[in-house]
Amino acid sequence: MGVVAKRSSMTFYSDNNSHYSHRVRIVLAEKGVTVELVEADPAHPSAELSEVNPYNSLPTLVDRDLVLYESKVMMEYLDERFPHPPLLPVYPVARAENRLIIHRIEKDWCGLVDSILTSRSENVVKKSTKELQESIVGISPIFAEHPFFMSEEFTLVDCCIAPILWRLPSLGIDIKPSKQSKPLLDYMDSLFERESFQESLSEEEREMRL
């Protein structure tokens, strides 16, 4: 990954399979931040992680004496700590709208992704897969209006969406080419070709689309 460095004042504990870790890695790559990346297993947290995070959760970002263990907080902190390029709008109303979109992504999409990945019920997985696919395809037309998610610029919203869209094949979702889905597929191609996105991918994530 391009965001990795041998020594840094900033350390990022990352789950190579998690879309929550992936979204932060995209921000790190987009900002060109020098960071020590520690690949961690959520099922077997290290003593080092336990010392800094009382929840042993991933992702975890350590910047000197500051420890963050919520991905949205990490992304906003990195955007403020490293202002260029900005990943949130300047004006308060637009910033609030972006935050609300991210909240809706977490409520409407992330919960379904997590359900598909963790539920032991086949019926729950099928229902969640169907709902997620219908929801994603349903918003496809909005990508015909702007190059990014309701924006002319790449933002934190795109950083949250990109890891989910990248994982669709591994979630059992296949977006068929059609007139309706074309804007969405074009948006996906644009995201995945972005240099920061390519740099953010772990080996496990690359294998999701081999």
User: In this structure, are 60 and 96 located in the same domain?
Assistant: no
User: In this structure, are 173 and 98 located in the same domain?
Assistant: yes
pTM assigned to the model: 0.93
Query: What does the buried/exposed string (b/e) look like for 127-152 if buried means 16 or more CB atoms within 10 Å of the residue's CB?
Result: ebbebbbeebbeebeebeeeebbebe
Residue-wise pLDDT for 17-29, tens only, equals 999 999 999 999 9
Q: How many angstroms separate the CA atoms of 87 and 203, rounded?
A: 26
Beta bridge partners of 109: none
Q: How many angstroms separate the CA atoms of 86 and 204, rounded?
A: 29
Could you tell me the two tokens for 157? 């919203």
User: In this structure, are 111 and 205 located in the same domain?
Assistant: yes
The owner of tokens 């020098």 is 34
Per-residue pLDDT at 69: 95
Higher pLDDT, 5 or 196: 196
DSSP state for residue 120 in the 8-state scheme:
-
Per-residue pLDDT at 6: 42
Q: How many angstroms separate the CA atoms of 46 and 50, rounded?
A: 6
* Sequence-distant (≥ 6) Cβ neighbours of residue 68 within 8 angstroms: 60, 61, 62, 74, 77
Region 198-203: mean pLDDT is 96
CATH number of domain containing 44? 3.40.30.10
Per-residue pLDDT at 159: 98
Nearest to 9 by CA among 85, 73, 72, 66: 66
**Domain endpoint, select from 20, 54, 81:** 81
Residue-wise pLDDT for 62-120, tens only, equals 999 999 999 999 999 999 999 999 999 999 999 999 999 999 999 999 999 999 999 99
User: In this structure, are 133 and 199 located in the same domain?
Assistant: yes
Sign of torsion, CA 137 73 50 204?
positive
Per-residue pLDDT at 7: 47
Per-residue pLDDT at 1: 47
Residue-wise pLDDT for 27-64, tens only, equals 999 999 999 999 999 889 899 999 999 999 999 999 99
User: In this structure, are 151 and 177 located in the same domain?
Assistant: yes
**Domain endpoint, select from 81, 102, 127:** 81
Number of domains in the chain: 2
Range of the domain at 60: 10-81
Query: Is residue 177 within a helix (H) or strand (E), and if so which, with residue range?
Result: none
Average of per-residue pLDDT values in the chain: 94
DSSP state for residue 37 in the 8-state scheme:
E
Q: How far is CA 77 from the centre of its chain?
A: 15
Question: Does residue 15 carry a pLDDT above 60?
Answer: yes
Per-residue pLDDT at 8: 60
DSSP β-ladder status, 36-39 and 10-14: parallel
**Cβ distance 126 to 139 under 8 Å?**
no
Residue-wise pLDDT for 111-150, tens only, equals 999 999 999 999 999 999 999 999 999 999 999 999 999 9
